């Protein structure tokens, strides 16, 4: 078992007004799964992803990652988990335009004790895998959206993470680039990577073999691909 969450709660407190965002979420994710967390904006799916990826701490419930109780970890230990266990792909890419493509991919290794030559070797190999070895010294703002997201994927993979979190990875891409990115994620999953995809788009979510639908801080349903989403559910989610 890679991830086990039980009765996970998260409240946001703003000027003494408590807003519950997650109201007791329970599920497990195994190593090697490709899971979509799907829901409309405000459903709590992003907050759930932030907690799963060690960026945020729950206010209630338990979260075990590889059998380790995450709620007991210090800030530095959480940073180390982010450094070693997870890779991120963001909707808005979050590349540093002042650095080259190669430097962007290397960035996560800067916070580890990997040697410079090893960093270079791994980054170049990954950029070759995503078909960008001819763009090593480009600034990211010279690249197309699809290329940027492929750089981000290479960056997410550089630490050889247990889980890749993709937050609306196709949200800023045209359909062709989006399909290309989804193909890469699919390939990564085929190679054994665990992928957790957060999206509000049904078509994107359906690339996963399992879809967890979230609404108003609760899990609406959690089913394998064979239970296709029904049209009326779609309606319900739009409300």
Partner 1 sequence: MDIFESMQNAWKVIVRNKMRSFLTMLGIIIGITAVIIVLSVGESVQGLILNEVKSIGSNLIGILPGHAEEDGPPSAAFGVVITTLKYEDGEAILNSGYEHIESLAMYVSGSDIISLNDKKASATFYGTTASYPDVQNSIVEKGRFFTKEEEIGNAKVVVLGSKVAEDLFDDQEPLGMKIKIKKTNFTVIGVLKSKGGGLIQNEDTNLFVPIKTAQNVLLGINHLGFIRVKVDKPENIDGTMEYISGILRDRHNIDNPSEDDFNVRSVAQALETIGSITNALRFFLAAVAAISLVVGGFGIMNIMLATVQERTKEIGLRKAIGAKNADIVRQFLIEAVTITFISGIIGIITGALLLFLISTVVNAMGYYWELIISPWSIILGCLVSIGIGLIFGIAPAQKAATLNPIEALRYE
Name the site residues for partner 1 (rule: CB under 8 A): 50, 53, 55-56, 75-76, 79-80, 82-84, 88, 90, 94, 96, 98, 107-108, 110-112, 155, 159
**Shortest Å distance, C-beta 110 to partner 1:** 5
- Complex with partner 1: residue 111 or 131, whichever CB lies closer: 111
**Shortest Å distance, C-beta 106 to partner 1:** 10
Contacts of 65 (CB under 8 A, 6+ apart): 2, 3, 54, 81, 85
**Shortest Å distance, C-beta 64 to partner 1:** 21
Burial 23-47 (b: 16+ CB within 10 A, else e): bebebebeeebbbbbbbeeebbbbb
**Shortest Å distance, C-beta 82 to partner 1:** 5
Q: Which of 218, 212, 219 is nearest to 33 (CA)?
A: 212
- Complex with partner 1: residue 90 or 138, whichever CB lies closer: 90
- Complex with partner 1: residue 126 or 211, whichever CB lies closer: 126
**Shortest Å distance, C-beta 83 to partner 1:** 2
- Complex with partner 1: residue 161 or 178, whichever CB lies closer: 161
Residue 88 near residue 167, CB atoms below 8 Å: yes
Q: Find the DSSP H helices in the chain.
A: 45-52, 75-85, 101-110, 116-129, 145-157, 175-190, 202-205, 231-238
- Complex with partner 1: residue 198 or 211, whichever CB lies closer: 198
| Through-space distance between the first and last CA atoms of the chain, rounded to whole angstroms | 35
**Shortest Å distance, C-beta 53 to partner 1:** 8
- Complex with partner 1: residue 36 or 159, whichever CB lies closer: 159
CA 59 from chain center: how many Å? 21
């Amino acid at each position: 078992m890679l991830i086990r969450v039980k009765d996970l709660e998260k409240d946001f407190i703003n000027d003494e007004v408590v807003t519950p965002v997650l109201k007791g979420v329970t599920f497990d994710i195994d190593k090697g799964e490709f899971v979509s967390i799907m829901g409309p904006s405000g459903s709590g799916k992003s907050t759930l992803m932030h907690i799963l990826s060690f960026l945020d701490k729950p206010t209630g419930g338990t979260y075990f990652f590889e059998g380790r109780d995450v709620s007991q970890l210090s800030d530095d230990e959480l940073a180390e988990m982010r450094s070693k266990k997870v890779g991120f792909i963001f909707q808005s890419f979050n590349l540093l335009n002042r650095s080259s493509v190669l430097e962007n991919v290397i960035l996560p290794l800067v916070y580890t004790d990997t040697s410079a030559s090893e960093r270079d070797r791994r980054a170049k190999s990954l950029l070759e895998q995503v078909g960008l070895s001819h763009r090593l010294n480009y600034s990211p703002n010279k690249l197309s959206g699809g290329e940027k997201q492929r750089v981000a994927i290479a960056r997410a993979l550089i630490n050889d993470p247990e889980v890749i979190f993709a937050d609306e990875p196709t949200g800023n891409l045209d359909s062709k680039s989006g399909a290309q990115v989804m193909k890469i994620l699919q390939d990564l999953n085929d190679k054994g990577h665990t992928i957790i995809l957060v999206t509000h788009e049904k078509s994107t979510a359906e690339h996963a073999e399992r879809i967890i639908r979230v609404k108003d801080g609760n899990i609406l349903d959690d089913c394998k691909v064979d239970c296709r989403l029904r049209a009326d559910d779609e309606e319900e989610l739009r409300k």
